[in-house]
Structure 1
Amino acid sequence: MSVTTEGLSGFAIGLVEIVVFVGYLAGFWKLLNVITSGFDDHEEIFVHGNWAYLVQRLGITAGQATGMLSSMGLHEPNRWSDVGLLALSGAWVALLLLAVHPVIDRIVGGEVRRPDDARAYELSAGLVKAAFYVAFGFVVNGSLSGSAPDWPTALAATAVFTLLGGALLVGCYFLVDLVNPFPMRAGVREGRLACALEAAGSLVALGLVMRNAIAGDFVGWGPALAGFAATAVAGLAVLYATRWLVDRLVLTHSTMRQVHEADQVPAAALLAAFLPLAALPVTAVVGTVL
């Protein structure tokens, strides 16, 4: 295999993109340290063993990484401007995550403090918040994918579908509570990890589906909005159907209601794993049709 000048240039650009990507993750972690001045991160994570805080922080960092991934790689051979686009997308993703941080805190509830008697309660809230960040990262990833006829349209489409995707995730969290015979949101605030796992699995699964629904070239507001709405309905339907099937066919000696009432974490973890797995074929179909 011969090594060309073009190939070396592309390899160099790829290496720089990797450095920028990792640099953003480290820089975002440091920025969060500065913003959360009431916490000493080293003390909370390594000394006190604050799992709730660690899970939440890892979730928002994973959201940053997921959101930036669509801007990785060479969109055209040997184009150094791709590095600049990656840097801009990294700043945009970080800004969005900081903007939704107080919204997610308010919706989920439960401040993550130093571990004490309320440690389990805080871990359940931290887990759901982490899932929100990861799912939102998928939404942002999709909104930054594809092309548009011009820059104003691209910016408008990115903003609109990021907002719609975020609103759908919030709606999903409330819908999980409505369709469940057990009060899920109250369970999360009470520290029930079984409730937190089901909610987290639902959010990540829907984020996967919406990523493929939003991604792609912009072909007009009508088709884009119609495709988004159809995918939202299909995604939520698949999540509910998956839960129903697990309840009827997989959990042979108990029901999901009993799982949550007894806070049976392994059974809830099983459902939490099934939900993203069921979302994968939906993403494949969406990616082919839309």
Structure 2
Amino acid sequence: MNIAVTLTGLAQGVTYVIVGIFFIWLVKIVDDWRTKEFDDDVHIDDGNVAVGLRRAGLYLGIAIALSGAMGGASSGFFLDLIHLLVDGLIITGFMFSARFINDFIMLANINNDEECIKTFVQPDGSKCVGNRAVGMVEAGMYIATGFILHGSISGTGGTFFQGIVSSILFFILGQIVLLVVGLLYELITPFNVRKEIKDNNLAAGIGLSGILMALGIILMSSISGPFTGWANDIVSFSIYAVFGIVLLLICRAVIDKLLLPTTNIATEVIKDRNVAAMIVVASAINAVAIIIAFSM
């Protein structure tokens, strides 16, 4: 073992960690500015789970996306560092774009910011501040976007400029697929998903969030890999997207039968608001997505 090479590698690794922490801090500052009408830190200190969830999803999404930028063949430390800084700025912009899409399309007619600081009366009569279901869906959208960006940024081949264009293209395509899945999920679910989310039903939020994250994992796998040409990469992405959507929806129905044999998702969400049951279902769907991603 060459000690000098090892120490150099560790020093470079620490530099990448510092850059990663910088971008996590940067998205916090940007989000604080964006929600300057209320103080997120105060709400988190006061135990607002909704605000905590959305922030957690943002930080995880950034880290997942940046890990894609840190992978791949090296072009030399300083050039890699410059690429990472550029990718980090692009990723930051994408994350807030994803949030805008989530606000105005995925959860249309729901104001995320207002919902996350609103006071709700629970079915048992207790009060809580913040719509946890909205916070959960927003977290899921951030994390799913992080997986998509990880795949698009981590690919090898092509020029640096082609890599940036590829990231933009697959971000847009990935968001379209996520929105399509959100619509299909509403259509096949025997209850009004958006109404339950607006009513602060965390179980409903976990259900939708779980599907989004699972699809993000599959799309990451479909995008990752060497650049083989625009037409070929887009066709491959489209095939995997359709395959992933169909398989996930089938798996959701199967999981409903296997893991909830004495009940069903509709009952657990609407009647019981069973968060524990939906965590198990969402985890199972994401476990299947991981298996699908590594089998393709």
Q: TM-score, normalised by structure 1?
A: 0.91
Task: State the alpha-carbon separation in 1 of the partners of residues 196 and 182 from structure 2.
Answer: 13
| 1:99 lines up with 2:97 in the alignment | yes
- Which residue of the partner structure matches residue 31 of structure 1? 30
Structure 1 partner of 2:219: 210
Trace 1:140-219 onto structure 2 (pairs within 5 A): 140-219=149-228
Q: 1:134 to 1:123 in 2, by over 3 A?
A: same
What is the alpha-carbon distance in structure 1 between the residues aligned to residue 163 and residue 149 of structure 2? 13
1:117 is the counterpart of 2:120: yes
One-letter code of the match for 2:199? E
Question: Deviation string for 1:42-71 (max 9, x for gaps)?
Answer: 321113x21111111111121111111112
Measure the CA separation in 2 of the matches of 1:156 and 1:24. 21
Aligned residue among 54, 57, 68 for 1:56: 54
Q: Is the 8 A contact 1:13 1:78 kept in 2?
A: no
Separation in structure 2 between the aligned mates of residue 272 and residue 102 of structure 1, nearest angstrom: 24
Displacement, 1:235?
1.1
Please give the per-residue CA displacement for 1:241-283, whole angstroms capped at 9, x wherever unaligned: 2211122222121122222231222222211111100101110
SS in 2 for 1:80: helix
Distance 2:162 2:35 in 1: 36
Give the 3 Å change call, closer, same or farther, for CA 112–57 of structure 1 in structure 2.
farther
In structure 1, the gaps of 5 or more residues are none
Q: Secondary structure at the match of 2:120?
A: coil
- Contact 1:135/1:207, CA 8 A, preserved across alignment: yes
**1:121: Cα distance to partner?**
6.9
Cα distance per residue 1:99-133 (max 9 Å; x no partner): 22222112322433435226477111110011001
Q: Which moved more, 1:25-34 or 1:197-206?
A: 25-34
Name the amino acid aligned to 1:55: L
2:86 counterpart letter in structure 1:
L
* Residue range with higher mean Cα deviation, 51-60 or 259-268: 259-268
Q: CA deviation at 1:78?
A: 5.0
Residue type of the alignment partner of 1:274: A
The equivalent of 1:10 in structure 2 is 9
Percent same amino acid among aligned pairs?
25
Equivalent positions of 1:211-230 (< 5 A) are 211-230=220-239
Structure 2-normalised TM-score? 0.89
- Using a 3 Å threshold, how does the CA distance of structure 1 residues 113 and 198 change in structure 2: closer, same or farther? closer
